[in-house]
A = this chain, B = another copy of it.
Amino acid sequence: MRKIPLALCLAVLVAVCGHAAEPERSYVAPPRVGANPAPPFSNGVMVGETFYVAGHIGIDAATGQAASNVETEAHLVMDAVKHTVEQAGMTMDDLVSVTVYCTDLDLYDKFNAVYRTYFRGQFPARAFIGVNKLVRGARFEVAGVAVKPVGARKL
């Protein structure tokens, strides 16, 4: 019967369980707009296997405001979330929870039609909330949580 050397056992323990004892943390910064100071939030924060995605909006790069066309804005906000998630080495299908804040619930079906196209597998849990107002004239703000094993990420 083979026995295990102490060093090997400890190495395996650190490799397998190490991130549980000391979760790695990294930040995806928001883009700077012109000479403005950086806003007081990160676009995402990774801790261990969980990636907390900030509320994103669909900004028209030309105006700095939300896109005037609804479908365009829906695509821009989902593109922004996708970009942040990919900066963390994840895909949209790693999202497990999403909150959509929306200033006009009559846009529910239009938003969903765009939203569906961003996922290939089963959908995250989601809350869809009709709110009063969003920053920069946005109709949609999308936040979420994504989870992926550390070893499976593509960075």
* Chain A positions near chain B (C-beta within 8 angstroms): 1-7, 9-10, 12-13, 16-17, 19-23, 25, 27, 29, 39-45, 47-50, 52-55, 96-99, 101, 103, 105, 108, 112, 115-116, 119, 122-135, 141, 143, 145, 147, 149, 151-152
Report chain B residues within 8 Å CB of A125: 41-45, 52-54, 143
Instruction: Jot down 8 A-B pairs with beta carbons below 8 A, ordered by A.
Output: A13-B16, A55-B128, A101-B129, A105-B133, A105-B135, A127-B143, A129-B131, A130-B135
B52 touches A145 (CB 8 A): yes
From B1, B48, B130, contact of A147 by CB (8 A)? B48
Q: How far is the CB of A54 from chain B (nearest CB, A)?
A: 4
